[in-house]
Amino acid sequence: MRQPEHKESNASLLQVNNLSIRLNSAAGLVHAVEDVSFTLKAGQTLGIVGESGSGKSVMARSLMNLLPRRAVALRKGSVLLSGREISTLSERELQRLRGPEIAMIFQDPMTALNPVLTICVQVSEPLQHHLGMNKQAARARAIELLDAVGIPDAANRIDQYPHQLSGGMRQRVVIAIALTCNPSLLIADEPTTALDVTVQRQILDLLTGLQKQRRMGMLLITHDLGVVASRADFIAVMYAGRFVEVAPANTLFKSMQHPYTEALFNSIPRINDASHTRLQAIPGRPPQLHDPAPGCAFAPRCPYAQQRCHQETPPVGQAEQAGHLHACFYPVSVPVATGGVR
Amino acid sequence: MPVKKHPKIVSRAQNFARALQQVFGRRFGPGFWLAVVWLLIVAFCALFADWLPVRDPLDPVIANRLNGPFTSNLLGADGLGRDIFARLIHGARVSVVIGLTAVSIGMLIGGALGIIAGYFRGHFERALMAVLDVILAFPWLVLLLALVAFIGQSLFAISVAIGFLWIPAYARVARANTLSVVQREYVLAAKAMGASTSRILIKEVLPNVILPVLAYGLVAMGLVIIVESALAFLGLSVEAPQPTWGGMISEGKRHLATAAHVAVIPSVTMFLTVLSLNFVGDRLRSRFDIKESNL
């Protein structure tokens, strides 16, 4: 097992440098991820926010090298997990890495569990496979894990099949499976999108609790700013495969720089708005990711876009505050009042 | 955290019992159970033909020649004076053995090929599908005759030849189901937990593909019995004097004008058996489909 000192060390757990991914599709090359860089330390949470099709899931999967080989047309940049380059590892080495080092929680607990295997089989298998436990030990440990993720009567629940559990329960089981081998990095890919709102909150609280307790690094991927607002240390806003703004969570909400972040923030309904206030939707459609036009991908929908925005791609630049990066020629810079976010 | 003693160690068995109840407890209707009873009788006859108190199926009694039912013999006698009832019971053995063996061969080989093709895709899939299409496009009776001429007329050889014909069908069913299972997130989830390819195939894909493949088995068995009788009708199934249903129909056709029962009785027996297999197979399949969609 890994030593706790290793996790406490200040070295970055995950370092992504200039990652670009293009995928083959019927319509042509899809520029799914463009020039993404970030670092994550043990015990930190990076929230990645973006709308559907912005490349969040593709990026998350590429961090574990889970994209089907046939689909990937091009992969540039490096992904270092605890200093080890992921993209050059063999399939065998990757299999050893997945589970004990890096684990993933999927969006839809209805499909993320195998319907024909009992919970016991699904939770204890990684224990037997990666940690070499025998059946009895793995079963006992699986019951502990189910207990830890808040499944009541775990000793009996463990012999049930997924269809006998509710959606929230299933997501707890999925989390338990991800935690079996004590991963140092946990990727949660829209963990609550398929659940209803009351359960969402419980699951998120559970996740952040477990993450603090085990000092895991966590990537929390969502399309909902409210989900990451109070739970992430850093927030990255993703648009058309790029990180358009990255900042510590509290800085981001105090001074948004990128017009897209602002638009996203303004599209959240607020409880203290007068009734019948119209929501500010973002005009236009999300861009097609194959054959992207030159210039900033958000320019066609941006209220502040200038001539230059349509011609050049803005580089990622530093804002005034340390650690606050954005990719915009004309940052908004107007401080937005905080509060009102869930 | 202390390891808690789990109080219900039997719950797995209870779970299984509950599942059985869910599958079989709902009403199938009397037709289903009649079909099941008929199939059980056929299976029983096939299994215990040698010990049942019936006459020798190979013993010709010239005096009884072409006697009708309920005379000297319970179901009459054939052109050589052999007891039709005894021959039916011994013929069931051939039908059941060939049905089971041929379907198993098709299921094992075709199923394995289909799963591998559906999981790995690529060149192997394309090549396999091309070969299967060629086999399917070939007139099956001609292919079967060629195979039988090549590998002989023993019970096993006939089973292998008919089983070979079923490989394309099973490969297609298995491949189609594998394609849809591989898309599901739990396969990706298993990969994300470091499962190896063989583990994914055996633990994630196989249990989800096997149900539709098995459900297809009973219906296929009915068709296999018909294919065998077609061979027997042409005199190319198991060699005489071993009784088979198809062979009995074939022998009976000579006496159709004078003693129709010699051909009709084995025909009706086979008809009922194939009908029952289709009926039971169909009902079970629809039940499993409902169960699938409920998950």
Identify the burial level of B74 via C-beta atoms within 10 angstroms of its C-beta, where 0-12 means exposed, 13-18 middle and 19 or more buried.
middle
Interface-testing mutation among A119, A158, A159, with chain B (most B C-beta atoms within 10 A): A159
Is the confidence at residue B10, as pLDDT, over 60?
no
Q: Which of A251, A276, A269 is nearest to A333 (CA)?
A: A251
Q: What is the mean pLDDT of residues B255-279?
A: 92
Give yes or no for a cis peptide into B212 (omega within 30° of 0). Answer: no
Residue % of chain B over a pLDDT of 70? 87
Contacts across the A-B interface (CB distance below 8 Å): 99
CB A213 within 8 A of CB A246: no
Determine the distance in angstroms separating the CA of B185 from the nearest CA of chain A, rounded to an integer: 5
Q: Let me know if residue B283 belongs to a domain.
A: yes
Cβ B160 vs Cβ B103: under 8 Å: no
Domain-embedded: residue B14: no
Cα separation, B219 vs A78, in Å, equals 54
pTM above the 0.90 mark?
no
Q: Chain B: nearest CA to A99, how far in angstroms? A: 4
- Residue A338 pLDDT: 46
Question: Tell me, what DSSP letter sits at residue A56?
Answer: H
Q: Does B126 touch chain A (CB under 8 A)?
A: no
Residue A268 pLDDT: 83
- Asked if the C-beta of B149 comes within 8 angstroms of chain A's C-beta atoms, the answer is no
The minimal CB distance from A66 to the residues B3, B122, B191 is found for B191
Spatial distance between the Cα atoms of B252 and B263, rounded to a whole number of angstroms: 4
Q: Is A177–B193 a contact, with Cβ atoms under 8 angstroms apart?
A: yes
Q: Search chain B and give the residue with CA nearest A108.
A: B185
At residue A27, the pLDDT reads 82
Is B116 a domain residue?
yes
Could you tell me the residue range of the domain that residue B190 belongs to? 70-265+278-294
Which pLDDT value is given to residue A79? 92
- Would residue B34 count as lying in a domain? no
Nearest to residue B227, comparing CAs of B152, B166, B157, B171?
Answer: B166
Count of positions (residues) in chain A = 342
Does B193 reach chain A within 8 Å, measured CB to CB? yes
pLDDT at B234: 86
Task: For CA atoms B164, B169, B171, B173, give the dihedral sign.
Answer: negative
* % of chain B surpassing 90 pLDDT: 40
Residue A3's pLDDT is what?
A: 42
Residue of B nearest to A164 (CA): B295
**Distance between A212 CA and the closest CA of chain B, angstroms:** 18
B286 and A CB contact within 8 Å = no
Local mean pLDDT, 10-residue blocks, chain A (342 residues)? 45 89 87 90 92 88 87 89 88 90 89 90 92 92 92 92 90 92 92 85 90 92 87 92 90 87 85 82 83 85 87 80 83 54 37
Predicted local confidence at residue A337, as pLDDT: 46
Kindly state whether B7 is in contact with chain A, defined as any CB-CB distance less than 8 angstroms: yes
Dihedral-angle region of residue B29 (phi above 0 means left; psi in -120 to 50 means alpha; beta otherwise): left
pLDDT of A308 reads 86
Pairing label, strands A242-248, A217-222: unpaired
Residue recorded with tokens 């059946």: A135
Nearest-by-Cβ selection for B15 from A70, A140, A159? A159
Q: What are phi and psi of B60, to 5 degrees?
A: -80, 125
Task: Please tell me the predicted confidence (pLDDT) of residue B37.
Answer: 93
> Is residue B33 in a domain?
no
Chain A residue with Cα closest to B206: A116
d(CA A151, CA B239): 64
Predicted pLDDT at B123: 92
Chosen from B16, B186, B196 to mutate, greatest number of chain A CBs within 10 A: B186
Report the alpha-carbon distance of residue A86 to residue A64 in Å, rounded.
7
Task: Quote the pLDDT of residue B219.
Answer: 86
Put simply, the answer to whether B203 touches A117 (Cβ < 8 Å) is: yes
Burial class of residue B26 in the structure, from the number of CB atoms within 10 Å of its CB (0-12 exposed, 13-18 middle, 19+ buried): exposed
Please report whether residue B104 resides in a domain: yes
- Taking contacts as CB-CB distances below 8 angstroms, the residues of chain B near A144 are 1, 3
Number of domains comprising chain B: 1
pLDDT at A230: 84
Q: What is the pLDDT of residue B70?
A: 84
CA B273 – CA A249 distance, rounded (Å): 72
Query: Nearest chain A Cα to B295, which residue?
Result: A163
State whether residue B15 sits within 8 Å of chain A by CB.
Answer: yes
| Sheet-wide strand order for A325-326 | A102-105, A185-189, A217-222, A45-49, A234-239, A242-248, A325-326, A317-318
> Does residue B175 fall inside a structural domain?
yes
d(CA A297, CA A53): 13
Do A155 and B189 make contact, defined as CB atoms within 8 angstroms? Answer: no
Name the minimum distance, in Å, from the CA of B184 to any CA of chain A.
6
Mean pLDDT of chain B: 85
The CATH number of residue B138's host domain is 1.10.3720.10
B9 within a domain of the structure (yes/no) = no
- Residue from B259, B219, B212 nearest B114 by CA: B212
pLDDT of residue A336: 45
- For residue A113, which residues of chain B lie inside 8 Å, CB to CB? 186, 189
Mean pLDDT lowest for which of A252-261, B35-44, B261-270? A252-261
For residue B185, give the nearest of A111, A159, A160 by CB distance: A111
Contacts of A180 in chain B (CB under 8 A): 193
